[in-house]
Structure 1
Amino acid sequence: MLGQDPVFSVSDAISVLNQTLEYAYPTIQIEGEISEFRVSKNKWVYFDIKDDESKIRCFGLVFQLTTPIEDGMKVLVIARPRLHNLYGFSLNILSIKPVGEGSIKKSQDLLKAKLEKEGLFSDERKRTLPYAPEKIGLITSEQSAAYADFIKIMNTRWQDVEVNLYNVAVQGEEAGDEIIKAINYFNLLACPPEVLVIIRGGGSADDLSAFSLENVTRAVAGSRIPSLVAVGHEVDVSLAELAADMRASTPSNAAELLFPDKSQITKYLNKQRDNFDLLVDAYINNQQAKIDNVLINISHQLQKFIDYKLSQLTLADSMLEGAHPRTALKRGFAIVQKKGKLVSSIKQLSMNDNIEITLSDGEFNADVRGIIKS
């Protein structure tokens, strides 16, 4: 009848209502508490989202869970509302994340325990960062205070650093994917940087949550480039920081850990040079003193040797002098010769032989007038 509302079958009614929902609310964001959470066949997830008065059935795929979920956690769900032919109204989950300090911490603790069990935070897998790298890959928001602080401290402490910035969102829905994309970009470069530096300033637990997502944490741990991560303030510790090769308490501290203070190094090297000069001078003086002592000792030993040899020469000269015929002649002895031959026995002489007699002060000739044998 004209003017009457149409009559639908149940299936048609559900189809029309789904079209209406899709047109009016293609997606919907709902915040509430998780209850009756379960995973089916390691593929599907089912749970209810509720408040004090109502609840809605939800379902989705396991891979859509970027962080662990359990009953009692407060979450923000982005979903498509729909009516199922058999099961009624439900939400088809597109994304889900914890909200509120308690739920975010609980989810992070669950994921931390899981990744820790896998060894992602083990000290054995951490690498030593190069000292004062010449080229770094910096992942952060170019407009952030963290970026400004890091660059300021770096330029104050060290110069001539090639900084390759990859500008990313550091909070919000897109932050996790952008951070992962940046890590992959640097790792695929033919000439990658020496260090990956990932930084973000302080904020609420929700603001910092991208740095504790499982896929971000795994990307940091899987980087072939050594990583340094600094997120938030000193009390904030994200899972990405635990997976990194080194963690810094703040972006400024990251620059301090990565780059030495050139002015302090210059002072240190100057002091070391002065100390070295003093050591060299002391060594030279010590060695010179040793050489002087050796020379003095050699001089003394040489003088003793010379004196000893001179005394030996004097003694030998005295002995030679005593053995010289002149010495005997001076004592009254004489040298007797006959016809140029030395006479040493009375048997060599005969009466009237002419002999030459040598005394200490001259010679004379004599004839033998008598021979007396002893």
Structure 2
Amino acid sequence: MSQSDLFTPETLSVSDLTEDIKLLLEGNFMDIKVEGEVSNASTSRSGHTYFTLKDEDAQLSCVIWSGINRRLKVELTDGQQIIAGGDIQVYPPHGKYQLIVRSVEQAGIGALQEAFEKLKSRLKEEGLFDDVYKKPLPRFPFDIGVITSATGAAFHDIRDTLERRWPLATVHLHHASVQGTNAAPELVRAIDWFSGASNPVDLLIVGRGGGSLEDLWPFNEEAVARALHRCSIPTISAVGHEVDFSISDFVADARAATPTQAAILATPDINEVRMFADDLSTRLHTAVEERVADQKEHVRQLVQSHALQAIRQKVANLGERIGGLKEKLHHRQQMRLLQQREQVSNLRHRLEIRNPNAPLEQGYTRVRQDKAWIKTLESFDRDTPATIEWRDGELEVGSK
């Protein structure tokens, strides 16, 4: 080789260069761990999960093959802060490198705290914490949904407090993991399930007991915050202890320092309600008695008042007047009846006088020819049969 060849750069093909890069990267970046925020997470039909791990200045394509996926049993959502472990692999046809992930764990406390502050600031700017979106809690909830671990102490604290404080409520538990990489997706599904139910509960409590920042991190995930924000049911966030604050505390309609306090915040005390009802009953009874006594006194005063006496006198005078009118009416009715009876008697007498049978009753007879009475001799026809009528019968004469 000539001396000039030592200073002349070698010309490589794309394949050769890519192969050299592949050997360099894959040989030096094995079994590494990378910390960052998950974005664009998706799982294909074949079971492979593809996502991007990013920070402020760079991003790294990642893939979890289906076999590893089944072993890890993780479900990634956008916004999660994780530490992904695996090997760098170069894919020559695309000229890209990616991380073949074999392990997933929650990010460290430093990165989580930084991510918490950034997400809190961004969601606050979007208005997710504004009071205008806060729904009022119902005064007397009878169906209460709880999203937490079915085996954790938080649910038992909530249930025991509700049974003691407000036993009229029915508690509906929806189990969800409350820590680890699977927790955020399960919390989102549970919130959406309650929000979309055909027979929704009156109130929803989402929470868990205390723990480290890593343990509580699912309640700081953006996906959980947005699920709480779009939830149609009033929500209470009850995460950790009094000193713990999570993103869900700012987004939910109310924040409780502990799960036990959430149960207290969600419901009235039945003993206080009973005492209040008894007090109202006593006050109502007293008010009714006082009102009745006042009305009785008012009536007594009216009875003794000059106005009522005047009314009584007026009623008495009207009664006497009515009595006099009744007597006059009765007298007029009697006089009218006598007059009518006399008129009837006169009419009867006149009818008796005009009765055509009256002469027969006195012994006279009556002659009739051709159905006509013969009143004169001149009217009598000797050749025509005649009928002679007496009081007790009649006889035909002159007939052959």
TM-score (norm 1): 0.61
1:19-58 map, 5 Å: 25=31, 28-29=32-33
1:77-226 map, 5 Å: 77-82=83-88, 84=90, 92=99, 98-100=107-109, 102-226=110-234
Relative to total residues, which structure has the larger helix share, 1 or 2? 2
1:305-316 map, 5 Å: none
Cα distance, 1:133 vs structure 2:
2.0
What SS does the aligned partner of 2:242 have? coil
Question: 2: CA distance between counterparts of 1:182 and 1:131?
Answer: 24
CA contact (8 A) 1:195 1:226 kept: yes
Question: In structure 2, what is the equivalent of residue 338 of structure 1?
Answer: none
Question: 2: CA distance between counterparts of 1:295 and 1:181?
Answer: 75
Question: In structure 2, what is the equivalent of residue 247 of structure 1?
Answer: 255
Given candidates 289, 295, 299, the residue that maps to 1:291 is 299
Question: 2: CA distance between counterparts of 1:114 and 1:48?
Answer: 14
Q: 1:223 to 1:271 in 2, by over 3 A?
A: same
Cα distance, 1:21 vs structure 2:
8.8
Cα distance, 1:47 vs structure 2:
5.8
Q: Percent identity?
A: 29
CA contact (8 A) 1:228 1:248 kept: yes
Q: 1:85 to 1:142 in 2, by over 3 A?
A: closer
Question: In structure 2, what is the equivalent of residue 365 of structure 1?
Answer: none
Given candidates 247, 250, 273, the residue that maps to 1:265 is 273
Question: 1: CA distance between counterparts of 2:77 and 2:235?
Answer: 27
Question: 1: CA distance between counterparts of 2:53 and 2:207?
Answer: 34
> Aligned partner of 1:218: which letter?
R
1:350-361 map, 5 Å: none
Q: 1:280 to 1:159 in 2, by over 3 A?
A: same
Question: 2: CA distance between counterparts of 1:21 and 1:272?
Answer: 80
Cα distance, 1:48 vs structure 2:
10
Q: 1:124 to 1:48 in 2, by over 3 A?
A: closer
CA contact (8 A) 2:54 2:60 kept: yes
Cα deviations by residue, 1:124-164 (Å, 9 ceiling, x for unpaired):
11112223222222110111111111000100112243322
Cα distance, 1:264 vs structure 2:
1.5
CA contact (8 A) 2:34 2:83 kept: yes
Cα deviations by residue, 1:229-256 (Å, 9 ceiling, x for unpaired):
2111222221112111222221111111
Cα distance, 1:261 vs structure 2:
1.2
Q: 1:300 to 1:195 in 2, by over 3 A?
A: closer
Cα deviations by residue, 1:257-304 (Å, 9 ceiling, x for unpaired):
22211121111111111111111111111222222222222389659x
Name structure 2 gaps, 5 residues minimum: 1-15, 38-50, 63-75, 318-400
Name structure 1 gaps, 5 residues minimum: 1-8, 35-42, 50-56, 68-74, 310-374
Cα distance, 1:191 vs structure 2:
2.1
Question: 1: CA distance between counterparts of 2:53 and 2:22?
Answer: 24
What SS does the aligned partner of 1:78 have? strand
Question: 1: CA distance between counterparts of 2:301 and 2:156?
Answer: 65
What SS does the aligned partner of 2:210 have? coil
Q: 1:85 to 1:194 in 2, by over 3 A?
A: closer
Question: 2: CA distance between counterparts of 1:180 and 1:213?
Answer: 10
Aligned residues: 270
TM-score (norm 2): 0.57
Cα distance, 1:12 vs structure 2:
5.6
Question: In structure 2, what is the equivalent of residue 59 of structure 1?
Answer: 60
Cα distance, 1:90 vs structure 2:
7.9
> Aligned partner of 1:59: which letter?
L
Cα deviations by residue, 1:86-107 (Å, 9 ceiling, x for unpaired):
9x9987386786422x543332
Cα distance, 1:83 vs structure 2:
5.3
> Aligned partner of 2:202: which letter?
E
Cα distance, 1:182 vs structure 2:
1.1
CA contact (8 A) 1:130 1:194 kept: yes
